[in-house]
Chains A and B, each alone.
Chain A
Amino acid sequence: MKMNRRSFIKACGVMAGYAVLGVNMTKEAAAAAMGFVGLRQKSVYDADANVYKIRKSQDNPMIAKIYDHETGFLHEGPCGHMSHHLLHTHYVDRSARVKALKAKGFKFNL
């Protein structure tokens, strides 16, 4: 089939129109699926990739400073004595109160 100049331009226009419409519809659908939480999550990953110059904890110079083997505040390294004193903890069995509530007739999901 032979195509003249006019119909070629028309076909281009229609195709461009569909392309723009299609992209917008896809964008909208993607935004709806992402939702409120997804937008915040995306912003976090964008900052990780683009705002923060260093992306691994072990490469943070202030981490190197605090764990320095000689002069560091935590010179024994991670999980050393000072770490265990200040940065680690223990947990408490808190099941008794909920058990007592259940015995009184309260119902929970677990």
Chain B
Amino acid sequence: MKKIEGVMAQTNAPKGIDPDGIFFVQVDPAKCEACGTCEEVCATGAIQSINDDGIRAVVDPAACMNCGQCLVNCPYGAIYEGVSFVDEIFEKLQDPNTVVVSMPAPAVRYGLGESFGAATGTYVGGQMHAALRKLGFDYIWDNEFTADVTIMEEGTELIQRVKEQGQKDARPLPQFTSCCPGWIKFAETFYPDLLPNLSSCKSPIGMLGPLSKTYGAHETHTPAKDIYTVSIMPCIAKKYEGLRPEMADSGFRDIDATITTRELAYMIKTAGIDFNTLPSQQPDPILGDSTGAATIFGNSGGVMEAALRLAYEVLSGKTLKDPDIKVVRTHEGINAADVKVPGFGTVKVAVASGLANAAKLCEEVRAGKSPYHFIEIMSCPGGCVNGGGQPLDPDVRASLFKSTVAQINKRFRARRITA
């Protein structure tokens, strides 16, 4: 066990193991105070009382979507991570025969700075790229590039689905997004009948892994077998996704290691890098350059907005003058919107933040009453910026009085309906 930015983690680097058997998060019964916060934030109920004292535990990994909301909301730091690749990554960075490439997610750059004293949400994209270079990563590739690729693939798939309605063997509508690994496991576990509605696109990291070992290997004249891909995520469920057996389309493991924002902060500190004095640097362009449409993937409603920026132009043949599509931006809950596209009509969309809200939209689809073309689902309330792998909210672990007040405020806000 290692303490990583306030969270305990088992350091191991599982290979060739079925991730369905791994507890990615679990409760330390010696630290659990039986407050029940974890149970309240868990959408599936995987974390529950295991004895008369009210000590909680994840009862079986099959019911846990690995989102980690229990972990980031536990006031006592009683929940630990079951998988951490940090030791293996340090070894690979020092091995001259291994070409280590970085693949940070959009939301990482809005949380990482907090571990170095910056205000909540401070954007540190440039310093993050510099820190990765300093750590010894050979290529600074960026998952934001494949967020742009995802929009091209998933937006094209949506337009195809809309056009093929009424034909034989048409793929069903609404189309669900497929970026969020907690949501994918949730659909596979609780709504397997809706799997044809899921976009067949891999998530951005599911795309960057195999592209690194094919396109990236070709462009940099690197043998694919020497490349070691490190996925850096605001998310614990991405560790599960990286270990899925089918993620090997490049001919190798597409994703060799997955760490969280907290673990990246830990690595930067362990390496003795003074983060706050780093200059702002760009990623390596081929698999690194990105757009505003890619960076908003980190927010609930962001994938939807980015996809609409493409769909609007493809369907109407016109330029979208103002890229802001603010009606789909979602702070919490469920948000539905009609987006008018000239030459096409109305695109009906919905965004659900949190898996309990996702279930409501799934029930509608199951009943055949869903009016939407496209539905975005994010497991974590607010989106990836609030992911289970992000630096902790200092109020959650504050003094008992302060954290109680924070919890009450949080619950009060969650009850209000927002437009």
Complex contact B157–A86 (CB within 8 A): no
Is the CB of A18 closer than 8 A to any CB of chain B? no
Q: Decide if the interface of chain B is mainly helix, strand, loop or mixed.
A: helix
With A45-B329, A94-B185 known as contacts, the answer to whether A101 contacts B123 (CB < 8 A) is no
**Contact among A40, A62, A95, A98 with B286 in the assembled complex (CB-CB below 8 Å):** A62
B44 touches A97 (CB 8 A): no
A interface majority secondary structure:
helix
CB <8 Å contact, A78 and B187? no
Q: For window 46-100 of chain A, which residues contact chain B by CB distance below 8 Å?
A: 46-49, 51-52, 54-63, 65-67, 73, 77-79, 83-95, 97-98
With a cutoff of 8 Å between Cβ atoms, the chain A residues found around residue B12 in the complex are none
Contact B43 A52 (CB under 8 A): no
Task: Tell me which of B63, B122, B151, B155 contacts A101 (CB under 8 A).
Answer: B63
A101 contacts B331, CB within 8 Å?
A: no
Closest to B329 in A: A45
User: How many whole Å from B75's CB to the nearest CB in chain A?
Assistant: 14
| Residue pair A54, B291 in contact (C-beta under 8 Å) | yes
- On chain A, the residues within 8 Å of B202 by CB distance are 87-89
User: In the complex the two chains form, is A57's CB within 8 Å of B294's CB?
Assistant: yes
Q: Once the chains bind, are B310 and A57 in contact (CB under 8 Å)?
A: yes
Q: How far is the CA of A84 from the CA of B293 in the complex (A)?
A: 23
Q: Which residue of A lies closest to B151 (CB)?
A: A57
Q: A63-B152, A79-B157 are in contact. Are A87 and B207 (CB under 8 A)?
A: yes
Interface pair B190/A97, CB less than 8 Å apart: no
Verify if B285 is at the interface (C-beta below 8 Å from A): yes
Are B409 and A32 touching (Cβ within 8 A)?
Answer: yes
Contact between chains at B386 and A40 (CB < 8 Å): yes
Residue A27 at the B interface, CB < 8 A?
Answer: no
Interfacial chain B residues near A56, Cβ < 8 Å:
291-293, 309-310, 313, 320, 323
The CA-CA distance from A83 to B214 in the complex, in Å, is 12
Q: Are B156 and A47 in contact (CB under 8 A)?
A: no
Residues in B neighbouring A63, C-beta threshold 8 A:
148-149, 152
**Distance to closest chain A CB from B404 (angstroms):** 16
Residues of A within 8 A of B145 (CB): 60, 62
B: residues with CB less than 8 A from A are: 20, 42-46, 48, 59-60, 62-63, 106-107, 110-111, 119-123, 125, 145, 147-149, 151-153, 155-157, 160, 178, 184-185, 187-190, 192, 195, 198, 200-202, 206-207, 210-211, 214-215, 218, 246, 249-250, 285-296, 298-300, 302, 306, 309-310, 313, 320, 323-324, 329, 331-332, 356, 359, 381-383, 385-386, 393, 395, 409-410, 413
Question: Can you list 10 contacts pairing A with B, beta carbon distance less than 8 Å?
Answer: A49-B324, A51-B123, A57-B152, A60-B145, A66-B215, A67-B152, A86-B214, A94-B185, A98-B63, A106-B63
